[in-house]
Amino acid sequence: MSTNLLPTVPADAPAAPSDDGPARTYVVRTLGCQMNVHDSEHMAGMLEQAGYHRANAHDEARLEADVVVVNTCAVRENAANKLYGNLGQLASTKARRPGMQIAVGGCLAQKDREGIVERAPWVDVVFGTHNLDALPVLLERARHNEAAQVEIAESLQVFPSTLPTKRESVYAGWVSISVGCNNTCTFCIVPHLRGKERDRRPGQVLAEIEALVAQGAIEVTLLGQNVNSYGVEFGDRGAFAKLLRACGTIEGLERVRFTSPHPAAFTDDVIEAMASTHNVMPQLHMPLQSGSNQILRTMRRSYRSEKFLGILDRVRAAMPDAAITTDLIVGFPGETEADFAETLRVVEASRFASAFTFQYSPRPGTPAASLGDQVPHEVVQERYERLMALQDRVSGEESAAQVGRTVEVLVTEGAGRKDDASHRLTGRAADNRLVHLALPLDVAAARAALDGDDRLDEPLDPRVPRPGDVVTVRVTHSAPYHLVADSALATDEATSIYSVRRTRAGDAWAARERDRAGLGGDHAHGAGTGAASAGGPVVLGIPAVRKG
C-alpha cells in the first residue's frame, strides 16, 4: 500500500486508462449531504474527462463497473456502517470481475485514511475531501503499481468548483459558494474533515450560475456549510445578501435556493434580499438542533431559541408563504426531560413544514463524544418517537393549509412511488414542497398506451410536461410531507386548473435524452448557444492553483 499525506500529483500526470479496447465504465455511489452529491458530480466529471464512461442504469444499480467510487459521509455512525456494507458487497463483485477498481473518497476517507484499506484490503484508492482532483491519477497509479494508493491532503488543494462536473440534472444545479466551516459545534466533525471556511469570489460564483443557465438550467441551489457567513474570508460580511440580489439579475434563472444558513449569522439584510429578489424562492432550511438553551450552549451553538424564533417571525413577515424546514438532534449528552420539553415547545411554535430528525450519534474526535451523562438509548428512542409524532402533526396541518392554492410545479425526473399507478407526475412547488400532479384524463390514457417516451416526440402534445417544464395546478389533497394536485381531473371548468409552460430546461432535458437514445438532432430549442452538451462534463474558465 502506498500512502501519501501530501499532494504530489503533477498537473500533467496521465490519468486516462491506458489499455486498448472498450472504454472503462464507472459508478459513483454517494452517501451523505448535498455537498457530497455535488462533490460526486465533480468526481464523475473528472472520470469522464479521463476517458471513463458512466455505467448503464442496470449495472449502476448493482454497482457493476470497472471503477466504483464510494463518496462517504462521517456525520453519523450509520454512515460508516453503510460504507463497509457497500465495500463488503463490492468484494465479491471484484473477485469475479478482473481489473475492477474500488475508490473511497469523502469525509470518512479523510478521517479513517489507511484504516479503510486495513479493514477492506480490496480497496484500490483512498482520497480525501481536499484532493478530489487526484482521483483519476490515483486510479491509474494503483493499476500501474498494483498496490492501493492512499492520498490525503491536509488542506484544500484545488477549489472543487474549478473541476470538471458531470451534472445529474440539466434543469437544476448545485453551486458551491464556500467549503469548510469556522464554527465549533461540539457534535460536528465536518470542520475537522473539510477545514476552515474558504469562500469563492462572487464573480466566480455568478460565472458558474450563468454557465448553468446557458446550458438550460432554471434553478440553482447555493451550497455552503454556513452560507450566511459567506464573505468573511474576503472581508465583506454582507456578501451573501449581495450575492442573492445579484442572482436576481441573471436572465433565465427562475429559482434560487440555498442551504444551509446558521441562525447566529442570519441577518435582516439576508431576509430583505430574499423577499425582494424575484427568483429567490420562499423557502428556508435553517437547523435548530435543539430548543433547549442549555443544550444549545453545550453544543456551542451561538444562538438561543428566542433568537431562532425571532428570525422565523421576521422571515414570515417578509414572506408569508415561506416554507421553513430544519434539523433536530434528540438525546444530546446531558439532555433532560425538561430540555426535551423545550425542544417540543420550540418545534410547535416554529411550524416547520418538515424536519430532518436524528438520534444523537457520538462521533470520535468531537468534543461531545467525550461528554459525560450520555442519554440511554431507550430514552432517546422514546423522545425521538414523541418528536416525530409532533412534527408529523404540524407538517400535516401546514400541508392541509395549502389545499386550494394554485401553485407552479417544476417537474422533476424522480417519480413518486405511486406515480405509475396513479398516472401522476412529481415536482416541486416554489416553496420546495413535493407535489404529485395529475395529467388530464385523455393525456394520461394516451401515455399509458404508448411503448416509448412521448416526451421526446416532435411535435409534442403541449399538455405533456417534460422534466424542467413548469405546470400550473391547484392543490386538491394533502399529506404531511407531500401535496396532491388533481385539478386537471375536475369537470367544472372553473376548478379545472392545468397548464404547461415549456422552458429551456425542458428543452435541455429532451436534448439530453434524445442524445442518450441515439436519436440525434439539435432539439435544445432556446437552450442557448455555445454551451456544453447537456450531458457532458462542464469546465469553467477559472484557474486552479496548485501548491508545491
**Span 59-70, pLDDT tens digits:** 998 899 999 999
What CATH code is assigned to 405-447+461-517?
A: 2.40.50
Q: Taking the alpha carbons of 116, 120, 126, 128 in that order, is the dihedral positive or negative?
A: negative
Phi, psi of 201, deg, nearest 5: -75, 150
- Provide the percentage of residues in the chain whose pLDDT is more than 90: 68
Q: Are 328 and 339 in contact (CB under 8 A)?
A: no
C-alpha grid cell, residue 458: 416532435
C-alpha grid cell, residue 208: 458558474
Q: Are 41 and 1 in contact (CB under 8 A)?
A: no
What CATH code is assigned to 162-401?
A: 3.80.30.20
188 annotated among ligand-binding-site residues = yes
Residue 195 is predicted with a pLDDT of 84
Q: How far is CA 449 from CA 414, 443, 489, in A?
A: 21, 10, 19
Q: Are 356 and 337 in contact (CB under 8 A)?
A: no
Q: Are 270 and 240 in contact (CB under 8 A)?
A: yes
> Is the pLDDT at 89 greater than 60, yes or no?
yes
Residue 418 is predicted with a pLDDT of 64
At 333 the three-state DSSP class reads coil
Mean pLDDT confidence for 17-22: 58
Give residue-wise pLDDT tens across range 277-328.
999 999 999 999 999 999 999 999 999 999 999 999 999 999 999 999 999 9
Residue 159 is predicted with a pLDDT of 80
User: Which CATH superfamily includes the segment(s) 25-151?
Assistant: Methylthiotransferase, N-terminal domain (3.40.50.12160)
Confidence of residue 521 (pLDDT cuts 50, 70, 90): low
- Provide the percentage of residues in the chain whose pLDDT is more than 70: 89
Confidence of residue 377 (pLDDT cuts 50, 70, 90): very high
> Starting from the edge strand earliest in sequence, which strands make up the sheet with 255-259, in order?
172-176, 219-223, 255-259
Give residue-wise pLDDT tens across range 144-169.
999 999 999 887 777 888 888 888 89
At 329 the three-state DSSP class reads strand
> Is the pLDDT at 520 greater than 60, yes or no?
yes
Mean pLDDT confidence for 323-346: 98
> Is the pLDDT at 351 greater than 90, yes or no?
yes
Confidence of residue 492 (pLDDT cuts 50, 70, 90): confident
C-alpha grid cell, residue 38: 455535488
306 CB neighbour count, 10 Å cutoff: 10
> Is the pLDDT at 19 greater than 60, yes or no?
no
CA distance 151 to 456: 45
> Is this model's pTM higher than 0.75 or not?
yes
107 annotated among ligand-binding-site residues = yes
Task: Decide: residue 433, CB within 10 A, 0-12 exposed, 13-18 middle, 19+ buried.
Answer: buried
**Domains of the chain, residue spans:** 25-151, 162-401, 405-447+461-517
Instruction: Look at phi and psi of residue 331 and say left if phi exceeds 0, alpha if psi is from -120 to 50, else beta.
Output: left
Q: Are 436 and 425 in contact (CB under 8 A)?
A: yes
Residue 419 is predicted with a pLDDT of 62
CA distance 305 to 346: 7
Give residue-wise pLDDT tens across range 201-214.
999 999 999 999 99
Residue 98 is predicted with a pLDDT of 92
Give residue-wise pLDDT tens across range 132-148.
999 999 999 999 999 99
CA distance 206 to 208: 5
> Is the pLDDT at 422 greater than 80, yes or no?
no
In terms of average pLDDT, the best of 281-285, 534-538, 544-548 is 281-285
**Least confident among 35-44, 475-484, 512-521:** 512-521
> Is the pLDDT at 441 greater than 70, yes or no?
yes
Q: Are 130 and 156 in contact (CB under 8 A)?
A: yes
pLDDT higher at 491 or 522: 491
Mean pLDDT confidence for 477-484: 98
Q: Are 125 and 101 in contact (CB under 8 A)?
A: yes
At 502 the three-state DSSP class reads coil
Confidence of residue 457 (pLDDT cuts 50, 70, 90): confident
Residue 249 is predicted with a pLDDT of 98
Give residue-wise pLDDT tens across range 215-225.
999 999 999 98
Q: Are 166 and 536 in contact (CB under 8 A)?
A: yes
Residue 20 is predicted with a pLDDT of 58
Q: Taking the alpha carbons of 226, 232, 233, 236 in that order, is the dihedral positive or negative?
A: positive
247 annotated among ligand-binding-site residues = no
